[in-house]
Amino acid sequence: MTFEPIEKQPGSNMFVMKCGGSTLAALPDSFFEDLRELQRSGVQPVIVHGGGPAISGNLEKLGIESSFVDGLRVTTEEVLDVVEMTLSGSINKTIVRRIQATGGQALGLSGVDGNLIMVRPVANSDVLGMVGEVTEVRAEIVTGILAMGYIPVIAPIGVDGGGQRYNINADTAAGAVASFVGSPTMIVVTDVPGIMRVLDGEKVVLPSVTVAQIEELIADGEIYGGMIPKVRAAMDCIQGDVSEVVIVDGKEPNVLSRVLQGEELGTRIVR
């Protein structure tokens, strides 16, 4: 999918960060203090978050069955109620509270607010249900929130022209937001140090890989198990104007500042 950004801001200090809800919940206060210092120094973070495990937990508590096809949650209207409640409600506000508890300023919203993220049904919606493919992100809402001095914290729920809401894969939503606001770099915060492979009997982090090299590493079994979905999710973010995705461990001290200053941390995925 190719996105056409609405507005670019050359020289902007903006960057987009994608993080899973469970990963963010486990991050130390120092991560949010780093975010606060970046904001105070004039850097403009934009956060897009997920929340798969929390959604699954709430569905289980409510006795609602849920299934996945190719890594995407099959979303009925009943499931969508829980998805929206969890993402736009508890997870979104937890992130906002944590940012503000350390002295930062944040404003939480979902793609429904102001028609921020416009979508259409995915091609196989007959199988997946109410899952959306992003067609437009209203960049002026994001830049407007930044101009007011707040960090936008965005839940990946979208809406179509008729007001129907849709569940969006968080990685896809993050890539679309980054592309429409003109951010060439996406930072994906995870609980792993990056993409690793075995060299001379030791596991080492690969500082930089291309999308083609990742496919080779998966085929060779160098990337395996739970790392495969993490890597594929990061690859999904490379779309439109997003030319590189950096996978980092959120528990690394001052990880965001160090990546933005060009320090070699984690793994850079490039086209």
Q: CB–CB of 36/5 below 8 Å?
A: no
Give, as one character, the DSSP assignment of residue 131: B
Residues 6+ apart with CB under 8 A from 90: 54
Binning pLDDT at 50, 70 and 90, where does residue 4 land?
A: very low
258 labelled as ligand-binding? Answer: no
Could you tell me the two tokens for 226? 């739970």
Its pTM stands at 0.89
51 labelled as ligand-binding? Answer: yes
Strands (E), 96-155: 106-110, 117-121, 132-137, 151-155
Nearest Cα neighbor of 186 from 233, 139, 120, 137 is 233
Q: What percent of the chain has pLDDT over 70?
A: 94
pLDDT in tens, 11-49: 358 899 999 888 888 899 999 999 999 999 999 999 999
Could you tell me the two tokens for 51? 């929340």
93-100's contacts with Cβ under 8 Å and 24+ in sequence apart are 94/21, 94/24, 94/25, 95/21, 95/24, 95/47, 95/49, 95/153, 96/153, 98/24, 98/29, 98/32, 99/32, 99/35, 99/36, 99/151, 99/153
Binning pLDDT at 50, 70 and 90, where does residue 69 land?
A: confident
pLDDT in tens, 206-248: 999 998 898 898 898 888 776 776 777 777 778 677 888 999 9
> How far apart are alpha carbons 136 and 179 in whole angstroms?
10
Number of CB atoms found within 10 A of residue 104's CB: 21
58 labelled as ligand-binding? Answer: no
The sign one gets for the Cα dihedral 10, 141, 156, 86 is: positive
Q: Is 202 left (phi over 0), alpha (psi -120 to 50) or beta?
A: beta
104 labelled as ligand-binding? Answer: no
Residues 6+ apart with CB under 8 A from 89: none
Binning pLDDT at 50, 70 and 90, where does residue 201 land?
A: confident
Which structural domains are found in the chain, ordered by start? 14-270 (3.40.1160.10)
Give, as one character, the DSSP assignment of residue 201: T
Whole-angstrom distance between the N-terminal and C-terminal Cα of the chain?
A: 14
